[in-house]
Chain A
Amino acid sequence: MLSLPQLPGRLCDGFSRREFLRVGGAAMLGISLPQVLSLQANANTTVDPAKPLNGWGKANSVILLFLQGGPSHLDIWDPKPEAPSNIRGEFNPIPTNVPGIQLSETMPRLAQQMDKACLIRSVSYTPAGLFNHTAAMYQMVTGETPDKVAPSGQLDPPSPADHPNAASHIANYRPPDEPMLAAVQLPRPMQESNIIGKGGNAGFLGRAYDPYFLFQDPNEEINLDDLSLRPEVPPVRLKRRKNLLETINAGMPEIDKVADSYALNEYYEKAYNLILSQRARNAFDLSQEPDGVRDSYGRHTFGQSALLARRLVEAGTRFVQVNWPSVANGDPNTTAWDTHATNFGPLKNLHCPKLDSAVSSLLEDLDQRGMLDDTLVLAIGEFGRSPRMGISTSGNSNAPDGRDHWPYCYTGLIAGAGVKGGQVYGKSDATGSTPLENPVHPRDILATVYHTLGIDPHTIVYNHLDQPRELVKGEPIAGIF
């Protein structure tokens, strides 16, 4: 359900704050969903009142490049050349196409697209309890802190009581305009050790709102069983079946009424369209892209995943979450961002070239296609890494050339959908340890995502126990638009 924020409320602080009313109520008043959305737009007061439309509703879709593992902000987005050597690390800063903004030398191609993106160098939070990846990732994509810890000291695996991934709320409130998958997650689940997929699904919203999971490597051929027509059922046969089913159903009007109350016929209609239109299947078919484009994104899992994200968004998908394809396993030669040891060599030679090609190609490609105006792009991890090398901040041991988890200050990239390019928002201190201005909580980033999609982040949703919960307890970052 959606909320109407314009109703006055009496609060002890003495001023009015947003109030909510379920859409059920609004519908009874004869207000349609688009009207509700536009009411929300007009009534939105969480951003600068002078600029009420700061990014509101600008996005048609969102691509989240989720850099799970926690990339080192100092070695990618927020170089600190003046800091002592045990902080600044081995890399040098390079200029970008925006005067005054420097990136680390690990991101040469992104440096040429800097005019299209905004770096938030003040992402910051203090972990509530657990200092591990799963808790942090869960917070990044759901906006909530998980509280249940298994006896192992790790988080519990995914549970139906979990807070939903943002994708699920978005699928609920802004279903696609075309018969298309509302939300897609690829090419692998979020993971830490044996906890797989926590925060990745619809949780208490129910399976129906799960993103479509494509846990395959787009750098290889993709197998699409449930989207492809089966060989024994060509389109003409499926249409025949559909007609037969409709004839049979028409003979049982009382039971068809039941179907109506479940919107069964609407879902069936959408499903036929999705299967017959081949829209989704085509979107997943990377062979339709010119070789040059595929090469530019990079012939690796992450690069091709980013390209796939663009194709999906083009076909009408609202929310694509691309998870970084390698997860922590202690081996410095995998491309996991969790660099407790051997931070520099692999970063320079393995991780960053993949990130650089994917992010920069995505920005350039979206821009050239005119899609950057209504596509919000995010590239961010669940935390950054400790400015000082070789110390322990999370209880993990760290090699002298490793960096530990650092949620207190790190960087996220945000672009498109009205976000002003070529800017740095927020500022970190001399060592990248703490925000000096405009700290941004991950919840504010999620709030910004909802905001750009025209969904009030304070919308109340009811969990599995029918308790009211806000989509996210954060505020859109007004200053980036």
Chain B
Amino acid sequence: MKPRSNLVTTFLVAFSICLTFQLTALSEMEQPASAKVPTVQALKVHPEALTLEHARDGRRVLVSGKTKSGTWVDVTPWAALTPTTAGVKVYEDGYIFPMAVGTTKIKVTVKGISTELPVNVKSMDAPPVSFVRDVMPLLSHAGCNNGTCHGAAKGKNGFKLSLRGYDPDFDYELLIEDISGRRFNRAFPEQSLMLLKPTSEVPHKGGQVIVPGGRDYEIIRQWIAEGVIPDVHTTKRVERLEVIPDSAELTTPGMRQQLIVIAHYPDGTTRDVTREAKFTSSVNEVAKVTDDGVVTAERRGETAILTRYEGAYSTNGIIVMGDRAGYKWVKTSEYNYIDTHVHNKLKRMKILPSELCTDEEFVRRIYFDLTGLPPTPAQVRSFLSDTTASKAKREKLIDALAETSEFVDHWTHKWGDLLQSNRKFLGERGIWLFQQWIHQAIAENRPYDEFVRNLITATGSTYTNPAANYFRVSREYTAAVENTTQLFLGVRFSCNKCHDHPFEKWTQNQYYELGAFFADVRVKPGQLAGDEVVYANYTTEPVKHPRTLAVVEPSVPFGEVGSETDDKREMLAEWLTSEENPMFARAGVNRIWSYFMGRGIIEPVDDIRTSNPPTNPELLDALTKDFVDSGFDIKHIMKTITRSRTYQQSIITNKWNRADTINFSHAVARRLTAEQLLDAIGIATGSRPRFEEMPKKFRAVQLPDSKVKDDGFLKLFGRPERETSCECERTTEVSLAHAMNLINGPTVAESLIDPEGRIAQLIQTNHDDRILVEELYLATLSRLPEKNEYAVAVEHLANAESKEEGAQDLLWALINSPAFLFNR
């Protein structure tokens, strides 16, 4: 398994993208077995009184019980509901249906404790059946439009539905016009294939999915009897979902919580859709959820339950607290608002933050994070010997590093990765010019919104306006859509290229509507060799929807574009980078956060979706606001993050935060990136790596792209090829090949014996073993050796064949130590 994919995302995706049959099977497997019925002293029902509007208005209720300790827990799964009259009927699935107009009561019992629920049945009329609200959801619930059944690309046995009902228009047309007459018998609805098939009264490969005479059966029967009326264009679909409770805290593993899902329609009506809704838990290890909406706590942690119904979504947080006996918050200083929000979350989760890191740890970490390089021995000494109070000293260093040329190089390189500055796309001169352009933007700390506008709206020669390289990389409107959404909104639109995103709100139409903004962007050869010119060609073929072949007009997936202008990209850029755009600043600031903290508040940073909620929404909101208020000042955000106590925590954990991986309660060690590692080896050994056709003292981070030849080190250690806009292109795993290379490969070995390298120089100028050892520790681990480390090292030097060999061994060992290989 790839180490980089944490469990959260793996499970998320496993349960959000897989075919539906997996979901079904897994939840079946996880049917609660024999969890203990909690002993309760009193019962409470939600709602306190139930009103049923019409004959088909079935509802569920939640039952909570008061435990001995006085807390209320959900006992719905164990509650027996007994009607006191024949005015209502309670089905096995917990639904209460009206049988007669009037008031009645239901007796609710759990383990001998009872209460009563008043019910008022207002009417026994059955309103006309709606295709959109009644029939379609029913087909989805029965699984008819699954990818494995009639929702498959080619349908099944001559009958096709749109995948999970994303296109009701299409479904209705097919149902009606396909073999018209046979499927529906309006005179004798029971004789319709539409009922005979799913009930298995005529052979049906999918078996019996609808019970004759049941609730579902009746709905279809009534719809046919009413004349198979389409209401695709007249009936609005669900406006929003309400999940009750909207969040829950479960104390111990095994505890359960029933969820109830209410669909709200634009006309103000509601209905209970718990039965038809689909539930998934983002972290199944923390809590699982069944098809019926019963959440079961598994182990301490946090998860989100994603509820889907007919294209509407809701995400609701579940906390499993576990045993936290003895926990007590310890007052911890807060350097800025980041700490306040982080600590609030830690208190809620009963976690204690780690101690501050030492100055030695800080100096190494901040150099790597801001400049991509370790500090030199001289820089370490200078920082450690500064007698300013630690907090102020650290802030001083942050401010100083943010003004260095190494800072500019480092972030230029990072943006070069994301913008795919690669000679394969841009040509050899192109990559240098693009690098210079990015370099300039970073050096002047160009506001993020302006930087992005420059890219999105760029036209002309890529030699004179290198920002236009954005469209040399994204030559097709499809690439422009996918790269722009992933880079600047943190959203992956590639899924909805071919169909509506299965579990998110993004639709196929939106993909092409967004594409229409880029429709007239063309690239042609420029006057100079290798140059290309980005221009607008208004006579080009407009973007067409792949299925309907209708011309698609430009439109944004949320919010509104400003005033109409000739330049569609201007309109798009204005919308995209607007302060009003709730996703732009948020995705940007989340990405920056991840570079310093090892993971985003939403992770992965470029896969933001409802089913992937932030672990600390208040923190993300505050950072977003700060980013916008500062005028999209990237450097300001970086300084704010690194000045926080949260950033400056130690990697050493305590009893209360050991298991925490998502709440930023301690620092996380990160393997150095390929470039950082190579440059760090260069600084440690005093021997600069050599790159083909590059200036002699070039650092890895200054290379213009990944095609520059080295001895293979960078590629092995996961330098991205710069062929996708995904952060995931860079890898930072550790493997056998890496270990072999560090132990025995040419990069480290040749640097150690470089006659102009650090060891050669130290041997020449120094006769004191202690100073030698000190320098090597400073050059690698950015700290002085401890007493026993001196002893070990000095003894090794004494026993070596020669002092030079001994020093090489020591430096080799320090470079191979995880303390060197990780940013910690």
Q: Which residues of A contact B (CB under 8 A)?
A: 1, 7-14, 17, 19-24, 28, 157, 159-161, 205-210, 212, 225-227, 229-230, 232-233, 237-238, 240-241, 244-245, 247-249, 251-252, 254-256, 258-259, 262-264, 267-268, 270-272, 274-275, 460, 462, 464-468
Contact = CB atoms under 8 A, between A and B. Distances in A.
B731 interface: yes
B149 interface: yes
28 contacts: A7-B29, A12-B148, A12-B149, A12-B206, A14-B207, A19-B25, A20-B22, A21-B26, A206-B733, A207-B716, A240-B796, A241-B813, A244-B796, A249-B818, A249-B819, A255-B651, A255-B824, A264-B818, A267-B734, A267-B738, A268-B816, A271-B744, A272-B743, A462-B5, A464-B729, A466-B12, A466-B13, A466-B607
A244 to B, nearest CB: 4
A303 B390 CA distance: 68
B406 interface: no
Given A12-B148, A244-B810, A258 B744 contact: no
Contact of A271 (B5, B29, B743, B749): B743
A11 B148 contact: yes
A267 B816 CA distance: 12
A11 B21 contact: yes
Nearest to B746: A225
Interface string B15-59: 001100110111011000000000000000000000000000000
Interface stretch (B91-99, B629-637, B786-794): B786-794
Nearest to B810: A244
Given A258-B651, A467-B17, 10 more contacts: A7-B25, A12-B149, A13-B206, A157-B424, A161-B723, A226-B746, A251-B788, A254-B652, A466-B607, A467-B13
A470 B629 CA distance: 47
A12 B745 contact: no
Given A205-B2, A248-B813, A262-B3, A10 B651 contact: no
Interface centre among B26, B604, B721, B813 (most CB of A within 10 A): B813
B7 interface: yes
A453 to B, nearest CB: 18
A7 B753 CA distance: 58
Contact of A233 (B21, B143, B731, B749): B749
Given A7-B29, A206-B731, A258-B651, A241 B786 contact: no
B736 A240 contact: no
Minimum-distance CB pairs A-B, first 4:
A208-B735, A12-B149, A9-B25, A271-B739
Contacts of B410: none
Nearest to A150: B424
A258 B822 contact: yes
Nearest to A19: B25
Contacts of A8: 25, 28
Contact of A249 (B24, B206, B817): B817
A245 B813 contact: yes
Contacts of B745: 226
B769 to A, nearest CB: 15
B809 A256 contact: no
B14 A161 contact: no
Contacts of A28: 285
A160 B723 contact: yes
Interface in B640-698: 651-652, 669, 671
A264 B734 contact: yes
B550 interface: no
B814 interface: yes
Interface in B703-757: 715-718, 720-721, 723-724, 726, 728-729, 731, 733-741, 743-746, 749, 753
Interface string B780-824: 000000101100100010000000010001101110111101101
Contacts of A205: 2
Task: Indicate the size class of the contact surface on chain B.
Answer: 35 or more
A259 B742 CA distance: 15
A460 B1 CA distance: 11
Contacts of A264: 734, 739, 818, 821
A39 to B, nearest CB: 15
B10 interface: yes
A462 B736 contact: no
A258 B10 contact: no
A159 B14 CA distance: 24
Contact of B206 (A14, A157, A248, A268): A14
A468 B733 CA distance: 20
B394 interface: no
Contacts of B544: none
B205 interface: yes
B120 interface: no
Contacts of A468: 13-14, 17-18
B446 interface: no
Contact of A258 (B25, B741, B818): B818
A210 B717 CA distance: 12
B205 A12 contact: yes
B501 interface: no
Contacts of A161: 723-724, 729
B350 interface: no
Contacts of A208: 731, 733-738
Interface string B265-290: 00000000000000000000100000
Contact of A275 (B652, B731, B740, B753): B740
B728 A270 contact: no
A462 B14 contact: yes
Nearest to B152: A12
Contacts of A268: 739, 743, 816
Nearest to B712: A226
B146 interface: yes
A274 B743 CA distance: 11
B25 A10 contact: yes
B792 A247 contact: yes
B156 interface: yes
A210 B737 contact: yes
Given A1-B1, A262-B3, A462 B813 contact: no
B9 interface: yes
A465 B724 CA distance: 11
A263 B805 contact: no
Contacts of B221: none
Contacts of B569: none
Contacts of A210: 737
Nearest to B816: A245
Interface centre among B205, B729, B737, B822 (most CB of A within 10 A): B737
A464 B207 CA distance: 37
B14 A255 contact: no
Contact of A207 (B26, B607, B737): B737
A464 B731 CA distance: 10
Contacts of B746: 225-226
A248 B788 CA distance: 10
Contacts of B256: none
A3 B458 CA distance: 48
Contacts of B814: 248
Nearest to A252: B819
Contacts of B810: 244
Given A248-B792, A254-B652, A256-B818, A270 B206 contact: no
Q: Which of B24, B753, B817 has the most CB of A within 10 A?
A: B817
B492 interface: yes
Count chain B CB atoms within 10 A of each CB in A24, A157, A161, A268 and give the residue with the most: A268
